[in-house]
Chains A and B, each alone.
Chain A
């Protein structure tokens, strides 16, 4: 059993929806219709390219294409984390910190998924490794950028309070513990919420895809559950690690709050 193939005309009909929406938004003068159209165009272009790339990867199957692909994902993911922050660390720190987090957490969790849980033969086979890494990384990326953005804002807004706590002899980590906790909560809530409503309100994307492709729903569900655990793991560990790295950078060796290191 295979899914119905979509032609370019079918996609064009789908795109009609975007054109209608852009027209409606333009009539309200919201200024987002241009952004919407650009995003739609990017979606088409990027996915068309990735379709080609993955097809090439699966056909040719050179194993060293996989780390190159993973590296590109890492670079783009790190840049995206940086771009989503209002007050980012100066210099290379912002990009580097996001990338380090993605590298440690997403890679570790994806490896765990491949080597321990799914165990495809060989373990790095791109049909499994690339989508798995992609799903974990994109979720970690969103959560990490949200948490880092919240932390830098919280420290900036509460800098006077933090300084007074330091003045009383508290350590930097004691002085910001409350804010860091809030950031962990904020970052992890979207994942927790979507896990809690999974299947009730929404059918998760990957599972839907597998069902459309003709997979037995119960098997698709098993995959989705496993993926979600991996995503939650990568997200949670990623948030904690990124906040640790960021707060370490925002205090110096004399335990001074260094907001001048934010741009």
Chain B
């Protein structure tokens, strides 16, 4: 994979040879990831069998589990930021979204706009609902909105469409890609679907044997 092949530089592009978002010599538990770079607005996919450590990778980047290595955003290392600030910039979306307050709205800082709600086929009054009555699919769609509500610059998405049918999944993809474009946010998208990876990502990786490997473009 070269810079010529994709039309996108693999590194550089932010300042003087510094990556906008980078993960280097990264280790968590038994895993080791040599490098992963992102440019503003770029989407990369991470595939791999279940249990291969994809979710752990995302949790390690967002600093929810102990990891070592160099993780930088806009040239500033993760460790020189407060953890809360880091996680607001680098937002992690778990595969199974949990709710703790009584109503949906209590989990939001702002109010998601009606167009986005409509695009995801959510009722306009969904924010007033009790969280206990949400279906799995609704939980997942609202979970994404809950994350976007914090305005993260990097999205770490763990199978964001796993509970959705094909139509709903493609709407969800649209919302994510639009956000990435509009906010110039980078996205690390974990998926088990090869088709989805090819649709949404400019580069694809595979987590196998506790390592992250780049996959050739199709």
A interface residues with partner B (beta carbon < 8 Å): 158, 160-161, 163-171, 178, 254-257
Contacts and interface: CB of A to CB of B under 8 A. Distances in A.
> Which of A254, A255, A256 counts the most chain B CB atoms within 10 A?
A254
B97 A256 contact: no
Nearest to B149: A168
A171 B64 contact: no
B84 A255 contact: yes
Contacts of B64: 163, 166-167, 256-257
B62 interface: yes
Interface stretch (B9-17, B88-96, B178-186, B207-215): B88-96
Contacts of A158: 100
B118 interface: no
Contacts of B92: 167
A178 B64 CA distance: 20
Contacts of A164: 94, 97-98
Given A161-B100, A165-B100, A256-B63, A170 B84 contact: yes
Contacts, number: 50
B150 interface: yes
Interface in B8-28: none
23 contacts: A160-B96, A161-B98, A161-B100, A163-B59, A164-B97, A164-B98, A166-B64, A166-B83, A166-B87, A167-B62, A167-B93, A168-B87, A168-B88, A169-B85, A169-B91, A169-B150, A170-B84, A171-B84, A255-B63, A255-B82, A256-B63, A256-B64, A257-B64
Contacts of A171: 84
B66 interface: yes
A203 to B, nearest CB: 43
Q: Which 5 A-B pairs have the closest CB atoms?
A: A169-B88, A255-B83, A167-B92, A254-B83, A169-B87
Contact of B84 (A161, A169, A178, A257): A169
Interface in B79-114: 79, 82-85, 87-88, 91-94, 96-98, 100
A163 B85 CA distance: 15
B147 interface: yes
B64 to A, nearest CB: 6
A167 B87 contact: yes
B65 interface: yes
Interface in B48-70: 59, 62-66
Contacts of B87: 166-169
Contacts of A255: 63, 82-84
B84 A256 contact: no
